[in-house]
Amino acid sequence: MAKGEEVRNKQVLLRDYIAGFPKETDMIMRTGSIQLKPITGLGVSKVLDSDHPDFKEGDFVWGSTGWEEYSLITTPESLFKIHHTDVPLSYYTGILGMPGVTAYVGFYEVCSPKKGEYVFISAASGAVGQLVGQFAKLMGCYVVGSAGTKEKVDLLKNKLGFDEAFNYKEEHDLDAALKRYFPEGIDIYFDNIGGKMLDAVLLNMRLHGRIAACGMISQYNLEKPEGVHNLFYLVTKRIRLEGFVVFDYYHLYPKFLEFILPYIREGKIVYVEDTVEGLESGPAALMGLFTGRNVGKQVVVVARE
């Protein structure tokens, strides 16, 4: 593409600031120019043109881009160049991208896991959770995951190698459910959801347990977050509850790639993606994350290579 050429550029825009659950109708499709401000997100892109010495036409990169067909990147330091293309490019939005690093640092750095420990993961079939569970199995832990449909529970047990899994929507007493799967208690909780599940987990943690607070999706769209009542167990059980954000750990990305690529190539770690086609599918796909419609990492294909 010649430098400066103007192209028709479909974009997804937010109409307005959103309180509570976003709706599909809060977003509009528009054919505009890149001077507009599309939603930002993490994606895989192909370089069409570049003045930057580190990036040349035809390179593949992953990192922050717009929800649009073409993006002008003015902060190339936020991009990672893709050097390994023997794996699906979409993996760089998931297992080899931000969710992968999140699972890696959240489990190995924040949870301080030891062989034989009891590990519980919520939103366990999601982009991050499915990897945490596989990492924990590799370390010799007992791993249980929760998810919101039978299909996801089956996936966890039959494809992702979890020891057990349960559908939290079918449990009216989360405390009782956890006691059923963890009669000895929980050493590590990888928390993607917060709220009531966190409260129930606190009742079931073991002494010196660790909780990695990775996300609290159950709380994102509430006007007022739910109260967590059982924090006193942090004291009596000497529990560490630690929030983390993956951006603080991106310097570990090369080490992470070295760790995970062999597992992927040998088929010892698998990754489940939920792929929809076309930028037009983006808004509905995003809504699906809040209702749990996606099975595995949600990927939107804007263009095939």
* Binding stretches for a copy of itself (CB under 8 A): 194, 198, 213-216, 219, 224-245, 248
Taking the complex as a whole, how short is the minimal distance between the CB of residue 272 and a copy of itself, in angstroms?
24
Nearer to a copy of itself, 34 or 213 (CB): 213
Task: Count CB neighbours of 138 within 10 A.
Answer: 13
Taking the complex as a whole, how short is the minimal distance between the CB of residue 18 and a copy of itself, in angstroms?
17
Taking the complex as a whole, how short is the minimal distance between the CB of residue 290 and a copy of itself, in angstroms?
15
Nearer to a copy of itself, 270 or 289 (CB): 289
- Cβ atoms 174, 196 nearer than 8 A: yes
Distance of alpha carbon 210 from alpha carbon 185, whole angstroms: 12
Taking the complex as a whole, how short is the minimal distance between the CB of residue 195 and a copy of itself, in angstroms?
9
- Pairing mode, if any, of strands 79-81 and 60-66? antiparallel
In the structure encoding, which two tokens stand for residue 65, read together? 């881009």
Nearer to a copy of itself, 2 or 235 (CB): 235
- Cβ atoms 162, 168 nearer than 8 A: no
Distance of alpha carbon 162 from alpha carbon 142, whole angstroms: 8
Nearer to a copy of itself, 146 or 218 (CB): 218
In the structure encoding, which two tokens stand for residue 304, read together? 């095939």
Nearest to 229, CA basis, from 193, 191, 188, 198: 198
Token look-up 């949870």 returns 111
**Phi, psi dihedrals of residue 285, rounded to the nearest 5°:** -65, -40
Distance of alpha carbon 75 from alpha carbon 171, whole angstroms: 46
Tell me how long the chain is: 305
Nearer to a copy of itself, 107 or 162 (CB): 107
Distance of CA 238 to the CA centre of its chain: 28
Nearer to a copy of itself, 109 or 164 (CB): 109
Nearer to a copy of itself, 156 or 193 (CB): 193
Taking the complex as a whole, how short is the minimal distance between the CB of residue 65 and a copy of itself, in angstroms?
22
Taking the complex as a whole, how short is the minimal distance between the CB of residue 294 and a copy of itself, in angstroms?
21
Taking the complex as a whole, how short is the minimal distance between the CB of residue 155 and a copy of itself, in angstroms?
26
